[in-house]
Every structure is written in structure tokens, then in C-alpha cells.
Amino acid sequence: MNEPRLSAVELFSKINGKPILQGINFEVEAGALIGVIGPNGAGKSSLLKHLSGYLTPSSGNVFIKGQSLGALSSSERAAQVSYLPQSNRVEFPYKVTELVSLGLVNNANLSIKEKKQKIAIALKRLDIEYLADRTVDHLSGGEQQLVHLARILLQNTPIILLDEPSASLDIGHEAQLMNILHSLVKEQKTVVVALHNLNTAAEFCDRLMLLQSGRLIADGKPDKILTQELVQTLYPYQVQVSTNTVTGNPNILAVKKLKT
């Protein structure tokens, strides 16, 4: 592998003395869609916050193209990494186009006309041109999420970190989002996305990192990670892992009977 675009080395994090991340190590190359999965409280959001520089590790380090994340200025970091947190509800009456335009803050060289064109392209890519003149505070959760994603697209950074971006999306918009993430990967972006939907993770991600209690307990291709044995150890309910007959990818179903 060439020099990794993003890596974590012995990443430890504590909040109020409680260990949150415990010795995370990985390397991610350019042009990959990586899913971060794991049960509630496993550390997925915390990991993304550290990879974005929003939180500083207790020890260990995050590197972007071999450079310590902590050594980058905030504008250098913003040029490399965009980050969409898990909760980002906006209750201010910003116009959709105003919010999306925040993705262009580092493009002072663009004319107003060019900025408007770029905003229109981002809205079109997500099929939300019809929201352009609405105010964000009156949008549904899923609509707001798509608007935030349009802003992230405009940031156009090599590394994109998304924390459960599909949580409030219907199945159609979720598939659309994951396909857009795939197209970004073809443009050599590195996309790391925390996901709860294991079937979505199995279908769309090139690689999965499985967290449990702040530890990276498995890292690899979806069919190697989403095995009956491993998935069953994570959740208190009976799960059934089969193979999707159309795509050949793992298919995960929680079944009604409680584990005894």
C-alpha cells in the first residue's frame, strides 16, 4: 500500500477518567469506503471525533498523509477533512442555499455566479434542488441531513467522515447516499462512515471496522467481519446471518426469539 491517507496509531481516549477508545490502530488508503460499526456506546462517534480533530486523544495519534493531525492549523485541517456529526439539527431560519454555501468558505477565489453554480450542482446530486429556497429549520430530519451532505460535498476534501448519515433517511435516500459515497471513492476520496444498518454496511462498504467497548475488534472485508459467530457476540438478541441471494453479500436479520 502507498502511504496511508489516514491512520490511527495506538489511539487512546478517556473522558472524565473513563476509557472511551482503547488502543486503536489502522491505516486507510485513498479511494476507500470504510464502515465503522458496533453496538451502541462502542465508540464509533468518539472515533470519528478524534479522526476529525474535534477531540484530542489522551495518547497515541491520528495522521493525515503521515502528518500528525494535531500539528495542522485549523485551515490546513479543514482543507483535508470534512466531518458530519451524528446530531446536527439546525433550528435557525437559514436558507438552504446559505447553509450549503458554508461548504465553500475556503473558495474565496470563486465569483458569486460560480458559487451559485456549485451549490446548484451539489443540490442536484442529492436530488434536493426543490429545497433550495426553503429555510432549514422547517425541514424534516431527513431533508436537513441531505442539506448537510450537500455542504459536505462542496467542501470537497480528500477525507470525509460521516457519523450515521443515513439515520433519518428512508431506504431510497439511504441507497442514493451510499451510491454517492461510492462515486466519491471513485474520485479517490477516503470516506469513513459510522453505520448502524449492518445490511447497508455489508452492501456498500469496501471494508468494515468493528468496534466494541472502545476497541477495534475486527477490521476487514464485510464478508469476513459479518459472520454469524461474530455478529451474535455483539448483540443480546438472536441474529441470523445469511447470504444475499442477489448480491452475495452478508444479510443480517434480528429474529424475534430472545437468546437464552
Ligand X SMILES: Nc1ncnc2c1ncn2[C@@H]1O[C@H](COP(=O)(O)OP(=O)(O)OP(=O)(O)O)[C@@H](O)[C@H]1O
Interaction site with ligand X (CB under 6 A): 15-16, 18, 20, 38, 40-46
DSSP-assigned states of every residue in 73-85: -HHHHHHHEEEE-
Amino acid letter for position 98: E
CB of 201 to ligand X, least distance (A): 13
CB of 39 to ligand X, least distance (A): 7
Q: How many CB atoms lie within 10 A of CB 138?
A: 10
Residue 55 or 175 with smaller CB distance to ligand X: 55
Q: Please report how the helices 171-186 and 141-155 are oriented relative to each other, as an axis angle in degrees rounded to 10.
A: 10
Q: Which of 228, 227, 180 is nearest to 204 (CA)?
A: 180
CB of 40 to ligand X, least distance (A): 3
CB of 89 to ligand X, least distance (A): 15
CB of 46 to ligand X, least distance (A): 3
Those residues whose C-beta lies under 8 Å from the C-beta of residue 17, and which sit 6 or more positions away, are none
Residue 35 or 43 with smaller CB distance to ligand X: 43
Residue 2 or 16 with smaller CB distance to ligand X: 16
Residue 54 or 94 with smaller CB distance to ligand X: 54
> At which residue does the C-alpha cell 470537497 appear?
156
Residue 48 or 146 with smaller CB distance to ligand X: 48
CB of 228 to ligand X, least distance (A): 22
How far apart (Å, rounded) are the C-alpha atoms in residues 187 and 94?
A: 31
DSSP-assigned states of every residue in 164-179: STTTT--HHHHHHHHH
Residue 18 or 186 with smaller CB distance to ligand X: 18
With beta carbons less than 8 A apart as the criterion, state whether 197 and 204 touch.
no
